[in-house]
Amino acid sequence: MDDLGERGGKPLPTDPEPAPAKHSRREFLTKAAGVAIGLPAAGALAGSAAAAPWAGLRSGAKPFDGVTLQFAKAPFGTDEKDVIAKLLKPFEDKTGAKVVHSVVPWNVEGATYATNYAGPNPFDVSYQTSTDLTGLGSKGVLEVLNTSKWLDAPSFKGTKGKFIPNTIKKSTYKGKLYGLPCIIGGTVIYYNKDLLAKAGVTKLPTNEGELAAAAQKVQKLGGGVWGHIVPLSNKDFTWYFLYHGLHNRGVDIISKDQSKITFSTRQAVSALQFYADLVNKWKVSPPVGQYDREAGVSLFKAGRVGFLHDEPLRLAVFRKEKLPFKWDFMAPVGANGKRTIFSTTGHWVMASKGKNKNAAWELVKFLSSPAFANEFGAHYGWAPVRSDVNTSKGDPMVTRVNKYVLSSWDGLPTGPRMAQLTDVYGQAIEAAASGKSSVQKALAKAQKDGTSILKS
C-alpha cells in the first residue's frame, strides 16, 4: 500500500507527539521504496510520469524534501489551524514536504479561490464543498482525480474501495471527479428534554406531522418559548437545512442528468409548504429575519426552543457549555415514509496548475486517511466517507450522528451551477416562509430563474 494514510491504521494519539511505532521512518521508507518500485510499474500501464520523482529516491531521503505545498481551507472552528498543524506534522516529517496553511474565511471563500486559482501559483491543495467543486472544476482549475494517475491508479484501488460509493457518485459530474470526498456533515434536530416533558411531549416525532404537533405543544407553553427553529434566511443557507425534505419525497432541485430544473414539482411544493406552515400557519417557528441562525442557537442554549434544527458541530459546544437543562438530538424527521439526512460533501482538491502535483496527491491521500480524518472528523463532529475512518473515538453521541448519517445520507448532486441554484432555492424558501409569496409562486419563480441559469 502506498497510501500514506494507512500507515498507522488507527487514530492519531491525542498527545502532541505521534507514537513512533505507528509512523516509523523505517516503515515509511519501506512504503516509499514500494512506491518507487510500484509506481513505475503502474506508470507503464497508465503512461504515468508520476513515478519519476520516486524512482530517484535514495535510501534515507525524504521523497518531497524541499517541497512547499500551499494548502487552503475555510475553517470549521477558530482552532482549526492548530488542529491541522498538529495532524499534518507526521506527514511533513515523513515526506519532507512543508505545508503552508492559509485560512480562507468562509465569507470571502469564493473571491479568494477565484483570484488565487486565476494566478500562476494556486493553492496546491484546498477544501471545496460540492456546491462549488464542479463550478471551479469545470473551469479547468482543478485536477480531474478519477484518472489512472491518481484515484484510479492500481496502487490506490484498495483505498478507493473503502469510500462510501454514493459519495464518489454524488461528487462526479459528467464522468469527472474534481475532488476526493473527505467528510459529510448532515443535520440533526436538538431538543430540550425539559421543555418537551413540560409540554407533555412523550414521544419523539419521527415525521413532519408529528414534529408540527409536538412543536405546537411546546409553543403553547408561552413565555417567549418557540416550538421549532430552523434557519430560514438565505444568508443562513436555509436551503441546506430544508433539502432533506426534497429527498424524502424522492425529488431534487435538478434532474439526474442535470438538464432540467425541478423546483416546482408537486413534491417540492409539499416539502417547502411544511416549513412555511411552521411559521405562517402553526406559528411555532419565528418569522424570517427575527432571529438569524446564531440567535436561534442562543435561544436554544437559553432554554427557549423545543426543537432546534442545526448541524452536528453544535454537539461539542453544547456539551462544553453544560447547558442548564437536559437535551439530546435526533435525526431530522422524515416524510413520505422516508427519513434521509442531507449535507453537502467536503472534498480535498488539487490545483491543475500546481507545480508539485505528486506531493499534493500524497497530501490529499494523507488528509483522506484515518491518520488525519479520524481525529479531524471527531474534533468537528463530521461523519466519515470511508469505511476505515472512524470519527467517533468511542463517543456515543458522535457514534449516533455517524450512524444516522451513514445509514440515510443523501447529498447534493455536484454541478457547475449548483452554487447559484441553491441560492435561488434559498430565495424561494425565504419568500415562502416569510409569507411574501405563496409556496407555489415562490417555487415557480425559482423554476424560471433556475432554468435561465442552466441555459447561461
Partner 1 sequence: MSAEETEAAWNRLTLSPDQFRRASSRYRRRRGSAAYLFILPYFIPFLAFLVVPVFWSIWLSFNKGGILDSPHFVGLQNWREIAGDTELTGSIKNTAIYAVEAILLVFTLALLLALLLNRYRKGSNVFKLALYVPLLAPAVLVGLIWQFVTNYDFGLFNLILTSLGFGRVNIFGNGTLALLTIVFAEVWRGLGFWTLYFLASLQSVPEELLDAARVDGAKGVQRFRRVTIPMLRPMLLFAAVIAIIANFQVFDTVYVLTQGGPYQSTSTLVWFIWKRLFQFQQTGQGYAAAVLLLGIILVLTAISFWLLGSRRRHERAA
Footprint of partner 1 (CB under 8 A): 107, 110-111, 114-115, 117-118, 135-136, 139-141, 233-235, 287-292, 295, 416-417, 419-420, 423, 427, 430-431, 434, 436, 445, 449, 452, 456
- 3-state SS, residue 6: helix
Question: Cα(439)–Cα(44) distance, rounded to whole angstroms?
Answer: 58
Closer Cβ to partner 1, 113 or 163, answer by number: 113
Question: Cα(307)–Cα(310) distance, rounded to whole angstroms?
Answer: 10
- Least gap, CB of 157 to partner 1 (angstroms): 32
- Least gap, CB of 263 to partner 1 (angstroms): 15
Closer Cβ to partner 1, 182 or 288, answer by number: 288
- Least gap, CB of 454 to partner 1 (angstroms): 12
Closer Cβ to partner 1, 113 or 329, answer by number: 113
* CA distances for 265 relative to 3, 73, 421, 446, angstroms: 45, 36, 15, 11
Q: Looking up cell 418537551, which residue turns up? A: 196
- Least gap, CB of 283 to partner 1 (angstroms): 13
- Least gap, CB of 51 to partner 1 (angstroms): 30
Closer Cβ to partner 1, 214 or 297, answer by number: 297
Torsional class of 163: left (φ above 0), alpha (ψ -120 to 50), beta (otherwise): beta
- Least gap, CB of 31 to partner 1 (angstroms): 36
Closer Cβ to partner 1, 75 or 110, answer by number: 110
What are the strands, taking DSSP E only, across 157-300?
172-173, 176-177, 180-184, 188-192, 226-229
Question: Judging by beta carbons within 10 Å of its beta carbon (0-12, 13-18, 19+), is residue 393 exposed, middle or buried?
Answer: middle
- Least gap, CB of 421 to partner 1 (angstroms): 9
| Residue 323, amino acid | L
Question: Cα(50)–Cα(152) distance, rounded to whole angstroms?
Answer: 13
Residues sharing a CB contact under 8 Å with residue 335, sequence separation 6 or more, in sequence order: 207, 208, 245, 248, 249, 270, 271, 274
- Burial annotation 186-213 (CB, 10 A radius, 16+ → b, else e): bbbbbbbeebbeebebeebbeebeebbe
Question: Cα(39)–Cα(3) distance, rounded to whole angstroms?
Answer: 12
- Least gap, CB of 179 to partner 1 (angstroms): 16
- Burial annotation 136-148 (CB, 10 A radius, 16+ → b, else e): bbbeebbbbbbeb
- Least gap, CB of 17 to partner 1 (angstroms): 39
Question: Cα(343)–Cα(160) distance, rounded to whole angstroms?
Answer: 21
Closer Cβ to partner 1, 231 or 381, answer by number: 231
- Least gap, CB of 258 to partner 1 (angstroms): 16
- 3-state SS, residue 309: strand
Question: Cα(373)–Cα(368) distance, rounded to whole angstroms?
Answer: 6
Closer Cβ to partner 1, 262 or 427, answer by number: 427
Closer Cβ to partner 1, 115 or 121, answer by number: 115
Q: Are 189 and 308 in contact (CB under 8 A)?
A: yes
Q: Which of 201, 199, 203, 202 is nearest to 219 (CA)?
A: 199
Q: Are 143 and 107 in contact (CB under 8 A)?
A: no
Closer Cβ to partner 1, 291 or 380, answer by number: 291
Q: Which of 16, 150, 151 is nearest to 90 (CA)?
A: 16
Closer Cβ to partner 1, 143 or 430, answer by number: 430
Closer Cβ to partner 1, 116 or 159, answer by number: 116
- Least gap, CB of 229 to partner 1 (angstroms): 13
